[in-house]
Amino acid sequence: MSGAVRIVLVEPSHPGNIGSVARAMKNMALDDLILVRPRVFPHPEAVALAAGADDVLAAARVVDSVAEAVADCVLVAGTTARPRNLTWEFATPREAAARIAALPEAARAALLFGPERYGLSNEDLNHCAFLVRIPANPAYCSLNIAMSVQLLTYELLLAREAPAGRMQFEAPLADAGELEHFYAHLAQVLKDVEFEDRTGYLMDRLRRLFNRTALDRNELNLLRGILAAVSGWRRRRGQPESE
């Protein structure tokens, strides 16, 4: 089980929180931790609060961006305290855990946790297939990062112990890095064909659409082929007819 789910902390400001997260992860048999632009790491306070999860801290990787942190993941979910709205799909920790547990065994998922003070940015959320909101007292719903990680990883442990079917695909799922190449290709083709973006959020909406569909690599290659055909047709159409 270890390693199939990655915990990603985005810009954690307190080293003690990093240590507490490592402890929560080890309690639930997870050890894949990535830190995106931490303010301070490594740090003695992180080791102290890890309380025996030093191996998780020692293996933790520091990267410069969320894109780098999730590049090899086929499913990315972001945690948020924002109220539900019509723009995003929301899930409870239990629902999210069930979706992750149903992935093929070789697939890797990531759970994103934002900075302590203000959470994940819209740019960070663009990498997510859905958002996870932890039910809590509406009058006081302040959970620190370690609490949130503990709750979600506990649900993951339960979901993995329960017998369940797994998704079957004809090819491995496309990971986030491959999707980023597709989004860049899609954005360029939309620009080339002068598709009108009336809201200014076209690519954000298209990203959310494809992020939640769990594309496999054959399906992604099919979409890339369609985009290439559109580009080729447009180039041929723009050429003068030969005499």
pLDDT tens digit string along 104-134?
Answer: 888 999 999 999 888 999 999 999 999 999 9
- Average pLDDT, stretch 94-112? 93
5-161 belongs to CATH 3.40.1280.10:
yes
pLDDT of 239 over the 70 cut: no
Please give the C-alpha separations between residue 28 and each of 35, 148, 160, 180, in angstroms, as whole numbers. Answer: 19, 13, 11, 31
Query: Does the pLDDT of residue 157 top 90, yes or no?
Result: yes
Write out the residue limits of the CATH 1.10.8.590 domain(s) in the chain. 176-238
**8 Å CB contact between 108 and 150:** no
What is the residue-averaged pLDDT of the chain? 90
pTM listed for this prediction = 0.84
**Residue 43: what pLDDT?**
96
pLDDT digits (tens, 9 = 90+) for 46-69: 999 999 999 999 999 999 999 999
Beta strand 32-36 with 61-63 is parallel
b/e 73-111 (16+ beta carbons within 10 angstroms → b): bbbbbbbbeeeeeeebeebebbebbbbbbebeeebbbbb
Higher pLDDT, 154 or 166: 154
Contact indicator for 153, 30 with CB cutoff of 8 Å: yes
Looking at the predicted structure, is the pLDDT value of residue 1 above 60? no
Instruction: Provide, rounded to the nearest whole percent, the portion of the chain with pLDDT above 70.
Output: 92
pLDDT (mean) for 205-215: 91
R_g over Cα of the chain: 20
Sole residue written with tokens 């547990």: 101
Other C-beta atoms closer than 10 Å to the C-beta of 191 total 10
Assign domain 176-238 one CATH number from 3.40.718.10, 1.10.8.590, 2.60.40.1180, 3.90.1200.10. 1.10.8.590
241 pLDDT exceeds 60?
A: no
| 94 pLDDT higher than 50 | yes
Instruction: Band the pLDDT of 243: cuts 50, 70, 90.
Output: very low
Q: How confident is the model at residue 222 (pLDDT cuts 50, 70, 90)?
A: very high
Residue range(s) in the chain whose domain bears CATH number 3.40.1280.10: 5-161
**Whether residue 42 has a cis bond before it, omega within 30° of 0:** yes
Tell me which residue of 173, 194, 180, 185 sits closest to 223, measured CA to CA: 185
Q: What is the pLDDT of residues 158-170, one digit of tens each?
A: 998 876 556 666 7
Give the percent of the chain with pLDDT over 90: 73
β-sheet with 61-63: strand ranges across? 61-63, 32-36, 5-10, 109-113, 75-79, 130-132, 90-91
Of residues 83 and 34, more confidently modeled: 34
